[in-house]
Structure 1
Amino acid sequence: MPRILVSNIDNESMMADERALTPDFCRASAITARRMAWFAEAGDIVVLPRDLSPQMKVYIARTMGYEPGSVTYLTPDWGNGHPRPIRAHELLHTGLAERMVRMIGDPGNWSVYPYCYERSTQQFAERLGLDGERDVRPFVKQGGAELLNDKRVFRSVAAGRGVSIAEGVVCATQWQLEESIGALIDKTGAVIIKQDRHSGGFGNLIVSRAEATGALGAPEVLVAKDESQIRDQSRIAWARLAYTDRAPLIVEVYYPVSACVTAEFKVDAADNAVTFLNCGEVRQAPILSGLIMPSAVPPYQLASFVSGATELARLCCDLGYEGLVNIDGIVTADGNVIVNEFNGRIGGCSHIHHILEAVAGPRYGDTLVVVSHSRTVDISIDQAFGVLNERKLAFDRSQGRGIIVTGEDASGSGHLEYLSIAPSREDAMRLEAEFEGLLGFDMPSQTEAGIGHLAKILAHLPQIRRKEVEQALQDGQRHGIAHQP
Structure 2
Amino acid sequence: MIVWVLNIGAEKYWNTVNAGIVDPNENIIVNRVEEMNLMLCREQDVMILREKPDEFFLMKLQELGFSIPRILTPDHADLLTPISELILKDVKLQQEILSLSADYEKAYFVPYAVTALEEQIANKCGLKIMSAPSHVSALINDKIFNRRMAENLGFDVCKGKVCHSIEEISEEYTRLVQESPFFDKVIIKEPFGASGKGLYIVDSEERLKSLLVRLKRFSRNRVDCSWIVEGWYPKKVDINYQIYIAPNGSIETFSIKEQVLRDTVYIGSRMPVQLSDQHIRLYKKFGDQIGKYLFELGYTGIASIDSIITETDVIIPIIEINGRFTLSTYISFLQNILGEVQVFTPYSKMITDSPLGYRELCLALENEGILYDIHKKEGVIVYTAGTLPSRSIDDSGVFPGRLFTLIVGESWKAIETYANKLENLVDNLQHKSIY
With the shorter chain as reference, the TM-score category is: 0.7 to 0.9
Q: Is the 8 A contact 2:188 2:199 kept in 1?
A: yes
SS at match of 2:384: strand
Question: What does 1:107-122 correspond to in 2, within 5 Å?
Answer: 107-108=101-102, 109=104, 110-122=107-119
Which of 170, 178, 200 is 2:170 aligned to?
Answer: 178
| Aligned mates of 1:441, 1:295 — CA distance in 2 | 32
Question: What does 1:35-74 correspond to in 2, within 5 Å?
Answer: 35-49=36-50, 52-66=53-67, 71-74=70-73
| Aligned mates of 1:204, 1:377 — CA distance in 2 | 26
| Aligned mates of 1:76, 1:242 — CA distance in 2 | 41
Residue 251, structure 1, aligned to residue 251, structure 2: no
Q: Is the 8 A contact 1:377 1:439 kept in 2?
A: no
Distance 1:344 1:165, change over 3 A: same
Compute the displacement of 1:10 (Å): 1.2
TM-score (norm 1): 0.74
Which of 139, 143, 148 is 1:151 aligned to?
Answer: 143
Indicate the residue corresponding to 2:245 in structure 1: 267
Residue 197, structure 1, aligned to residue 184, structure 2: no
TM-score (norm 2): 0.82
Indicate the residue corresponding to 1:449 in structure 2: none
Q: Is the 8 A contact 2:52 2:71 kept in 1?
A: no
Question: What does 1:379-458 correspond to in 2, within 5 Å?
Answer: 379-390=356-367, 393-396=370-373, 398-408=375-385, 409-412=388-391, 413-440=400-427
Which of 93, 100, 106 is 1:99 aligned to?
Answer: 93
Residue 372, structure 1, aligned to residue 351, structure 2: no
Consecutive unaligned residues in structure 1, runs of 5 or more: 210-223, 443-485
SS at match of 2:158: coil
Q: Is the 8 A contact 2:158 2:231 kept in 1?
A: yes
Indicate the residue corresponding to 1:213 in structure 2: none
Deviations for 1:190-237, whole angstroms, at most 9, x for unmatched residues? 21111211112122111212xxxxxxxxxxxxxx15xxx745532323
Compute the displacement of 1:253 (Å): 1.1
Compute the displacement of 1:100 (Å): 2.1
Compute the displacement of 1:52 (Å): 3.3
SS at match of 1:411: coil
Deviations for 1:305-362, whole angstroms, at most 9, x for unmatched residues? 45334421332234343222211111222222213011122122222123332332xx
Distance 1:28 1:391, change over 3 A: closer
Aligned residues: 405
Compute the displacement of 1:106 (Å): 5.1
Q: Is the 8 A contact 1:203 1:241 kept in 2?
A: no
Distance 1:421 1:15, change over 3 A: farther
| Aligned mates of 1:192, 1:369 — CA distance in 2 | 32
Indicate the residue corresponding to 1:332 in structure 2: 310
| Aligned mates of 1:355, 1:57 — CA distance in 2 | 16
Q: Is the 8 A contact 1:45 1:74 kept in 2?
A: no
Indicate the residue corresponding to 1:17 in structure 2: 17
Indicate the residue corresponding to 1:352 in structure 2: 331
Compute the displacement of 1:419 (Å): 0.5
SS at match of 1:165: coil
Q: Is the 8 A contact 1:48 1:73 kept in 2?
A: yes
| Aligned mates of 1:330, 1:66 — CA distance in 2 | 34
Distance 1:206 1:75, change over 3 A: farther
| Aligned mates of 2:228, 2:90 — CA distance in 1 | 36
SS at match of 1:407: coil
Compute the displacement of 1:75 (Å): 4.4
Compute the displacement of 1:256 (Å): 2.0
Deviations for 1:239-273, whole angstroms, at most 9, x for unmatched residues? 35889674422211111222211111222131x32
SS at match of 2:345: strand
Distance 1:241 1:386, change over 3 A: farther
Residue 125, structure 1, aligned to residue 125, structure 2: no
Deviations for 1:105-148, whole angstroms, at most 9, x for unmatched residues? 25433321111133321221002233x45xx67xx236222222
Query: Which residue identity is paired with 1:262?
Result: N
Compute the displacement of 1:397 (Å): 5.2
Which of 250, 255, 264 is 1:278 aligned to?
Answer: 255
Compute the displacement of 1:285 (Å): 2.6
Distance 1:233 1:395, change over 3 A: closer
Compute the displacement of 1:29 (Å): 2.2
Which of 197, 201, 209 is 1:206 aligned to?
Answer: 201
| Aligned mates of 2:172, 2:369 — CA distance in 1 | 54
Distance 1:418 1:309, change over 3 A: same
| Aligned mates of 1:432, 1:243 — CA distance in 2 | 49
Query: Which residue identity is paired with 1:189?
Result: D
Compute the displacement of 1:97 (Å): 4.8
Distance 1:91 1:42, change over 3 A: same
| Aligned mates of 2:221, 2:64 — CA distance in 1 | 42
Select between 385-394 and 251-260 the one with higher mean Cα deviation: 385-394
Distance 1:374 1:18, change over 3 A: same
Q: Report which of the two has the higher share of helix.
A: 1
SS at match of 1:265: strand
Distance 1:254 1:99, change over 3 A: same
Question: What does 1:162-177 correspond to in 2, within 5 Å?
Answer: 162-177=154-169
Deviations for 1:450-476, whole angstroms, at most 9, x for unmatched residues? xxxxxxxxxxxxxxxxxxxxxxxxxxx
Compute the displacement of 1:303 (Å): 4.8
Indicate the residue corresponding to 2:82 in structure 1: 85
Q: Is the 8 A contact 1:269 1:320 kept in 2?
A: no
| Aligned mates of 2:87, 2:230 — CA distance in 1 | 35
Q: Is the 8 A contact 1:97 1:124 kept in 2?
A: no
| Aligned mates of 2:334, 2:175 — CA distance in 1 | 45
SS at match of 2:337: helix
Compute the displacement of 1:390 (Å): 4.5
| Aligned mates of 1:281, 1:241 — CA distance in 2 | 35
Compute the displacement of 1:104 (Å): 4.3
Distance 1:49 1:179, change over 3 A: farther
